[in-house]
Amino acid sequence: MVIVVSLILLFFFNVLALFISGRHYYSPQVYPNGHSGGVGQYFFPIIAPFQKGLTKTLLFGEELWTHYFYLVSVAKENEELEYALRNAIKKNKECLETEFSNQRLRSFLNFQKSMANDTIAAQVIGRDPSPWFKSIIIDKGSYDGVRKGLPVVIPEGAAGQVIEVSSRYSKVLLLIDRNSAVDSLAQKTRARGIIRGSSDGKFLFQYVLKKYEIHEGDTVISSGLDGVFPKGLTIGRVFSVSQNSSGMFQEIVAIPFVDFEKLEEVMIVLPYSDQEDVRS
Amino acid sequence: MMAYCFNLFLIIALLVFQTSFAPNFKLFYGFFNLMSLFVLYLVLYRPHQEIIVFILLAGVLMDSSSSCPFGLYTTIYIWLSLGIKWTLKYLHKENVIIIPMIFSGVILVENFFIMSGIGLIDNDFSFHPEKFRSLIYQLMYGVFLGPLIILWIKKLHAKWNSWSFEKIFKHFG
């Protein structure tokens, strides 16, 4: 009887502790040294050096394979490349012409050149061990200027947000994780909503009012209003739109531009206030 | 001491394999959580004090490597170990069919705990077919490969135990 009561008490205490831990984990609080304050920051750096070692070894193996073991087909490939190079030179000339006309048009329209934020490049050294959660470990930490809450991007668009920082490594919550949320806009109609991750690797574009006409294929970009992601980063393309009879909002599913399965290198975007510190 | 070193080495190797090696290969899509297999191995074949220490370590390292609420995996492993211990009172663990059966149960209970954990903090949570497919893959891999990996770990551990620090020092002069 005592064991049963103890187990029940332990279970309730356990659920309560998990609930508190779950609420605290995603809170945006940042400590002065740039660390995230959670217990996790002391433990994942134990595994990270091994993950980094294995990733480097795999990359080395891949390079070895590409450079030495494929030499047999290099001669044939060389001929093809020469042909491709001739085509590329021709296209390059066309591109130069397009670039010149582009510059002329830009100056004509008096576009103001916008100053881009500084970024820190980082390599992905580990992925989330659980299929239920979507995060990555990168090889840059507070020593490199990374802080909790900074946005992570790749050329295709927004990728995630830093959620935990140690001195040399950081954990990034990917946008496809269910706990992720980005204030976004439909590029064409400027309809505002929230992009959230879902279980199937797609995005849910939530809280978009029914008065806006959203079509399949429309691009969704970051609005910049959440204070995390800079405005105008591409996020996804609208996959399906449905308007239920009840409720104020549409149900929109979007497909990410970023291939989260193939992330290898990412860039952490620094806020303007940090850029002078990193430069110095 | 040698057993503790072995378990530590094994935990790190399994976690690094799962987070840095397996995601690069499609073959491992839907592969089961190797750490829960390690928990099963501990409960089946290791003494109590080792089980407690390494279940906590495995849980904390999993919690730190994942974006789950901190403590979720530690909780899962503690309750799983208690559940397996209780189940083994009524089952004979040397029977060939028992380990695949228990490991299937471990995979199901682990996923159930994670869903409950997510449901605790996310009101919009729903079970997506993609996750169902992943669960089926985990069970299939688990039933066929789980017992083989456990046997392999057991043999590796026996080999490790046959060494001693004196032998190692002697070997390296």
Which chain B residues are closer than 8 Å to A40 by Cβ?
Answer: 63-64, 70
B123: closest CA of chain A, how far (Å): 11
Which residue of chain A has the CA closest to B58? Answer: A43
- For residue A48, the surrounding DSSP H or E stretch is helix A44-64
Distances (CA, A) of A74 to A59, A68, A80, A249, B51: 21, 10, 10, 57, 55
Contacts of A198 in chain B (CB under 8 A): 128
Do residues B78 and B59 touch, judged by C-beta distance below 8 A?
yes
pLDDT at B10 over 90: yes
Q: Are A138 and A125 spatial neighbours (Cβ–Cβ below 8 Å)?
A: yes
User: Is A119 within 8 Å of A270 (Cβ atoms)?
Assistant: yes
* Summary mean pLDDT of chain B: 87
DSSP E strands in chain A: the ranges are 119-127, 135-138, 151-154, 157-165, 170-174, 181-186, 192-197, 203-209, 219-222, 234-242, 249-256, 265-269
The set of residues, in sequence order, having a beta carbon less than 8 Å from that of B91 and lying 6+ positions away, is: B98, B102
Give the start-to-end residue ranges of the domains of chain B.
2-164
Mutate to test the interface with A, among B64, B124, B128 (most CBs of A within 10 A): B64
Residue of chain B whose Cα is closest to the Cα of A48: B16
pLDDT band at B111 (very low <50, low <70, confident <90, very high): very high
Which residues 145-204 on chain A approach chain B with CB closer than 8 angstroms?
163, 171, 173, 177-179, 198-201
As to burial, measured by CB atoms within 10 angstroms (0-12 exposed, 13-18 middle, 19+ buried), residue A61 is exposed
- How many Å apart are CA A203 and CA A218, to the nearest integer? 13
Of A51, A125, A130, the CB nearest to B33: A130
Contact B67 A135 (CB under 8 A): yes
Contact (CB, 8 A) for B34 and B14: yes
A190: left (phi over 0), alpha (psi -120 to 50) or beta: left
Asked if pLDDT for residue B21 goes beyond 80, the answer is yes
pLDDT of residue A245: 63
- State which residue of chain B sits closest to A206, comparing Cα positions: B124
Nearest chain B residue to A180, by CA: B67
Q: How far is CA A104 from the centre of its chain?
A: 34
First to last CA, chain A: 66
pLDDT, tens digit, for every residue of A90-103? 888 778 777 766 66
Checking if the pLDDT of B110 tops 70, the result is yes
From A224, A10, A114, A201, select the one nearest B29 (Cα to Cα). A201
- Tracing tokens 């089961």 back to the chain, one arrives at B32
| pLDDT for the residue A112 | 32
Q: Do A128 and B66 touch (CB under 8 A)?
A: yes
Searching chain B, which residue's CA lies closest to the CA of residue A55?
B20
| Touching B: A residues 45-104, CB under 8 Å | 46-47, 50-51, 54-55, 58
Angle separating helix axes B34-45 and B48-65, nearest 10 degrees: 170
Average pLDDT per consecutive 10 residues, chain A (280 residues; last block may be shorter):
88 86 65 64 83 88 76 77 87 77 54 56 90 92 92 88 93 92 91 88 89 90 88 90 80 92 86 59
Conformational region of residue A149, where left means phi above 0, alpha means psi within -120 to 50, and beta covers everything else: left
User: A55 vs B20: CB contact, 8 Å cut-off?
Assistant: yes
Q: Does A130 touch chain B (CB under 8 A)?
A: yes
What CA–CA distances, in Å, run from B7 to A137, B54, B106? 24, 7, 20
A277 Cα to chain B: minimum distance (Å)? 29
Flag if B20 and A134 touch (Cβ within 8 Å): no
The residues near B41 (Cβ < 8 Å, ≥ 6 apart) are B150, B153, B154
Over residues B37-62, the pLDDT tens digits come to 999 999 999 998 889 999 999 999 99
The answer to whether the beta carbons of residues B150 and B37 sit under 8 Å apart is yes
Per-residue pLDDT at B97:
85
Which value, in Å, is the radius of gyration of the alpha carbons in chain A? 24
Given B20, B67, B120, which is nearest A171 (Cβ)? Answer: B67
Do residues A199 and B131 touch, judged by C-beta distance below 8 A?
A: yes
**How confident is residue B95, by pLDDT bands cut at 50, 70 and 90?**
confident
- CB proximity A131 to B under 8 Å: yes
The pLDDT tens digits of the residues spanning A123-174 come to: 899 999 988 899 999 999 999 999 999 999 888 889 999 999 999 999 999 9
Distance from CA of A250 to the nearest CA of B (A): 16
| Interface test mutation site (partner A, options B20, B81, B131, max chain A beta carbons within 10 A) | B20
d(CA B22, CA A128): 11
Rounded-to-integer distance, Cα A123 and Cα A55, Å: 9
Neighbours of A106 (CB within 10 A): 12
